[in-house]
Structure 1
Amino acid sequence: MSVHLNHTIVPARDRDETAAFLVDLLGLEPAPVYGPFRVVSLGNDVSLDVVQAGESIPAQHYAFLVSEEEFDQIWGRIKERGLAYWADPFHREPGRINTNDGGRGLYWSDPNGHNLEIITVPYGGF
């Protein structure tokens, strides 16, 4: 049996705002409610289940593998909305993208301080 990630829980101060932010920037379908979650479905049958978690949210990192075209679209939406972005996970290279492993990547933050990343080539170039 091969093991696949099915879903992960994303804690949020505002479940609906966070799900809408992800859906909007990543260009995804609206996130339906399932129990206490807003389910943000990704293209590889994995979902981010956004849950209301109160004010104290530990920052997490979520990386998304996207096509070159999707990268341009997402980067465009980030710039249109005036969001800060960085070429590195420590936010030391503002307003830049990286070209690691022959692809492109960038980082930005969601409303909860989660570090989001898009890359066009997986780490190691695989």
Structure 2
Amino acid sequence: MTAHFNHTIIASTDPAAMAAFYRDLLEADEQPSWGPFTNLTIGGDVLLQFATPPVEFPPQHYAYLLDDEHFDRAYAWITAAARQHWADPQQTRPGEVNDEHGGRGVYLLDPSGHYLELITRPYL
């Protein structure tokens, strides 16, 4: 059997706020929560679990592949909320979208400081 990505725990300073942010940005589906986890699913039934870890955590990078229509809605949400965003991971092109890899992409930070990348075409 080919391996498939199933779930990840995303370290969160406020799991409920993080889940709300990801639900709106990624149009994710709410799932029952348990223990320390606030849960959502995205395409392919991938479970995103938000929890506060017992230790300090470094920011991580999470990239999400969106279709063009979803990207348009997500970008409208980002700009309507006046969220800082960049066309590049070095944050040298603020307020822009890139057109690399045959699609579009944008970078932003989530409420816990993780680096998010939204793209419309996969790199491979």
Residues 13 and 54 in structure 1, CA contact (< 8 A), matched pair in contact too: no
Pairing of 1:18-37 with structure 2 (within 5 A): 18-37=18-37
Report the CA distance between 1:56 and its aligned residue: 2.7
SS in 1 for 2:8: strand
Deviation sequence 1:47-79 (CA, Å, 0-9, x none): 111111267331001110000000000000000
1:1-126 pair list within 5 angstroms: 1-53=1-53, 56-124=56-124
- Segments of 5+ residues of structure 2 without an aligned counterpart are none
Aligned-pair Cα RMSD in Å: 1.4
Q: Separation in 2 of the partners of 1:20 and 1:32?
A: 14
**Structure-1 separation of matches of 2:102 and 2:50:** 32
Letter paired with 1:120: T
- 1:65 maps to amino acid: L
* SS of alignment partner, residue 39 of structure 1: strand
Alpha-carbon distance in structure 2 between the residues aligned to 1:88 and 1:97: 8
TM-score w.r.t. structure 2 length? 0.93
Q: What is the aligned-residue identity percentage?
A: 43
Looking at structure 1, the residues matched to 115 and 75 of structure 2 have their Cα atoms a distance apart, in angstroms, of 15
State the SS of the aligned residue for 2:2: coil
AA in 1 matched with 2:91 = H
What's the CA shift for 1:89? Answer: 1.2
Q: Matched residue pairs, number?
A: 124
Unpaired segments ≥5 residues, structure 1: none
Length-normalised TM-score, structure 1: 0.91
1:68-126 deviation line (CA, Å, top 9, x unaligned)? 000000000000101010011121110111111110000100111100111000014xx
Distance 2:31 2:81 in 1: 20
AA paired with 1:58? P
Could you tell me how far apart the structure 2 residues matched to 1:50 and 1:5 are? 17
Q: Secondary structure at the match of 2:29?
A: coil
